Amino acid sequence: MGFDLFALAFDRRGGDAASMLVHNYPEAWANVYVGFDLSDSDPIRRAGEKSMTGFQWQDVDRYIPLSRGDRQLLQVARESGIGDGFTVPRHLPGEATGSCSFAVAPNARIPLEMLHAAEIVGAVALASARQLIGTGAYTRRAALTERQRECVLWSARGKTAGETAGILGISEETVNRHLKMARGRYSVHCRQMLILCALFDGVIGFSDVYDWWRPL
């Protein structure tokens, strides 16, 4: 397709986690990336969680804010022989995350006429990786009552127990009791982890929180 390099990465989350990594990146960069476990700070990975379609690396700051460390990481990759690239992301919260990237050497031109083909090839490659690794064993999720869900939702929207009580027309003590029972069902001990569990399980949706908070 006119690219010089590729990398396919797929990780299945959960208790039976599994991963796949296939690439032809320069050995020096691969050793640094894996050896220092840079996936957690990789701006391309983070941008992939914000995009539904493939994107060029030169446009990554349209998806996420880039810190000085992010720019340094991209510069090190360039010095290691990796120029601009195109990444096809797949992100299933709580289940799996993956990407298929195509790159060119530094100072080489991205084959813009082949990006549609790269999108299709990347999607097929990621679907095949998921099929090879499997989707993991299904485990029944913690079920919350409707009132518990409402309390978690308003907590995710930044409301205190007192504010949630006023919104729902119940006492603050009742709100705290519902949140405590919800934490118990997930076996977590703080508000942040309760919200994350509820988001990943689909008990509340990201849009339920973001659309309410986002300024009009």
- For residue range 159-177, list pLDDT tens digits in order: 999 999 999 999 999 999 9
Is residue 48 domain-shared with residue 151, that is, in the same domain? no
Is residue 154 domain-shared with residue 117, that is, in the same domain? no
Say what the pLDDT of residue 158 is: 92
- Helix 172-186 to helix 191-201 angle (10° resolution) is 60
Name the residue range of residue 208's domain.
Answer: 146-213
H or E segment at 166?
Answer: helix 161-168
Residue 136 has pLDDT above 70, yes or no: no
Q: Is 139 contained in some domain?
A: no
Give me the amino acid identity at 124: V
Specify the range with the lowest mean pLDDT, choosing from 20-24, 49-53, 81-85: 49-53
Is residue 118 domain-shared with residue 161, that is, in the same domain? no
- The contacts of residue 8 (CB under 8 Å, 6+ apart) are 20, 21, 22, 23, 98, 99, 100, 101, 125, 126, 129
Is residue 119 domain-shared with residue 170, that is, in the same domain? no
* Residue whose token pair is 């995009």: 51
Q: Is 193 contained in some domain?
A: yes
Q: Is 158 contained in some domain?
A: yes
* Residue whose token pair is 């919350």: 144
Residue 138: which pLDDT band, with cuts at 50, 70 and 90?
low
Overall domain count for the chain:
2
Residue 209 has pLDDT above 80, yes or no: yes
Cα 110 from chain centre:
25
pLDDT digits (tens, 9 = 90+) for 29-64: 999 888 888 888 899 999 998 898 999 999 999 999
**What 8-state DSSP symbol labels residue 216?**
-
Q: Is 165 contained in some domain?
A: yes
Residue 143: which pLDDT band, with cuts at 50, 70 and 90?
confident
Q: Which of 138, 35, 51 is nearest to 87 (CA)?
A: 51
Q: Which of 133, 167, 188 is the last residue of a domain?
A: 133
The token pair that represents 45 in the structure block: 């990975």
Using the CB atoms, write b or e for 17-34: b if 16+ within 10 Å: eeebbeeebeeebeeebe
Say what the pLDDT of residue 216 is: 52
Verdict on whether the full-model pTM lies above 0.85: no
Is residue 72 domain-shared with residue 151, that is, in the same domain? no
CATH, residue 65: 3.30.450.80
